[in-house]
């Protein structure tokens, strides 16, 4: 018997030589916010805008006009949305969208809301089979389960069972370039800091099984929320978002403004209309003013008309 080991080449269909693999760059459903796969939306029970963000994300993906979030979160792959909500029924979500957020709902089936979410429990094999049959039929780009804890009876600290519960959802989402958005809660904090990934209630495997985490922390300004985003294949970020809903519906949501941004906005509304005029009026370098004006434009707060800068209310 020869002491030399026979060298086997990778078997086609079992192994792929990396040099021959087809490159797959990371993709987005909503750029910078929702990648395909499993996404956790985590925030405390009250005043964290979890339901608001769920509904507005459904509207964005379905192609409905919204002003709740900043305009830079662009839809890359839009399509139908399916919502399974224990928090609100279809009528309550419709009221929230129209009256609370000013979202225009067209006469289509872009967003479907399950009448009885208890029919779709993730730890029930028959219910899961029904869910996937509807998913395969509808091919939604976004599926929302709110809140995750109501869709199963698994012990959340049991890592193996939670992975077994979530793996079929992630596999379907990845195969269909879709996002499964699971609304979840963190554990209660003993101090007043921002929530972190380690604060997710249950097993740490829950975070490990997901492609993205959107962690929400309420701020002292109740119309703002801090969003800390963590992605497996993209750089993360932390942003404070001024939510344009309820009291401010119809206005454009934007990222939190610096004091200089507010001064520039006030100067523009008082009549200064060019970078040079604004720079002179507030005694700030033109380069800095130009950078902040571009930021304000990206947030939908100002618009450019040639060399002139105008507030979006005037531009309209």
Q: Residue 312 pLDDT more than 80?
A: no
Please check whether residue 40 is in contact with residue 227, taking contact to mean a CB–CB distance below 8 angstroms: no
pLDDT digits (tens, 9 = 90+) for 137-196: 999 999 999 999 999 999 988 999 999 999 999 999 999 999 999 999 998 877 778 888
For residue 235, the tally of other CB atoms under 10 A from its CB is: 8
Mean pLDDT over 41-45 rounds to 91
Q: Residue 109 pLDDT more than 70?
A: yes
pLDDT the model gives residue 3: 55
Which range among 29-33, 49-53, 154-158, 246-250 shows the weakest confidence by mean pLDDT?
A: 246-250
- To the nearest 10 degrees (0 to 180), the angle between helices 259-269 and 275-282 is 110
Give the separation between CA 62 and CA 281, rounded to whole angstroms: 44
Distances (CA, A) of 208 to 48, 157, 204: 23, 13, 7
Supply the pTM of this predicted model.
0.86
List, in order of start, the domains of the chain with CATH numbers.
37-251 (3.40.50.300), 259-315 (1.10.10.10)
Give the separation between CA 50 and CA 44, rounded to whole angstroms: 8
More confident residue, 181 or 252: 181
| Strand stretches in the chain, DSSP E | 37-42, 81-85, 111-113, 142-146, 179-184, 212-218, 224-231, 237-242, 254-255, 302-305, 308-311
pLDDT the model gives residue 7: 61
pLDDT digits (tens, 9 = 90+) for 261-293: 999 999 998 887 899 999 999 999 999 999 999
Task: Pick the closest to residue 28 from 300, 229, 294, 253 (CA basis).
Answer: 229
């Amino acid at each position: 018997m020869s002491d030399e080991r026979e060298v086997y080449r990778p078997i086609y269909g079992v192994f792929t030589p990396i040099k021959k693999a087809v490159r797959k760059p990371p993709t987005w459903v909503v750029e910078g916010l929702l990648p395909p796969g499993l996404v956790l939306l985590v925030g405390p029970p009250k005043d964290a805008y979890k339901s608001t963000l769920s509904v507005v994300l459904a509207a964005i993906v379905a192609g409905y006009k919204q002003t709740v979030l900043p305009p830079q979160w662009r839809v890359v792959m839009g399509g139908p949305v399916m919502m399974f909500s224990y928090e609100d029924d279809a009528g309550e979500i419709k009221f929230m969208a129209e009256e609370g957020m000013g979202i225009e709902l067209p006469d289509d089936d872009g967003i479907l809301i399950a009448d009885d979410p208890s029919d779709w429990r993730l730890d029930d094999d028959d219910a899961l089979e029904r869910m996937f049959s509807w998913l395969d039929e509808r091919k939604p780009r976004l599926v929302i389960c709110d809140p995750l804890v109501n869709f199963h009876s698994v012990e959340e600290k049991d890592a193996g069972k939670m992975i077994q519960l979530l793996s079929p959802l992630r596999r379907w989402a990845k195969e269909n370039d879709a996002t499964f958005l699971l609304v979840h809660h963190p554990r209660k904090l003993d101090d007043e800091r921002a929530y972190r990934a380690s604060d997710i209630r249950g097993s740490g495997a829950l975070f490990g099984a997901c492609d993205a985490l959107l962690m929400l922390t309420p701020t002292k300004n109740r119309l703002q929320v801090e969003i800390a985003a963590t992605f497996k294949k993209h750089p993360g970020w932390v942003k404070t978002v001024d939510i344009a809903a309820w009291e401010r519906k119809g206005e454009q949501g934007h990222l939190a403004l610096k004091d200089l941004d507010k001064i520039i906005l006030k100067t523009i509304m008082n009549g200064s209309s060019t970078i040079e005029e604004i720079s002179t009026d507030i005694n700030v370098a033109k380069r800095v003013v130009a950078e902040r004006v571009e930021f304000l434009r990206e947030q939908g707060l100002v618009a450019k008309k040639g060399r002139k800068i105008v507030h979006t209310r005037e531009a309209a």
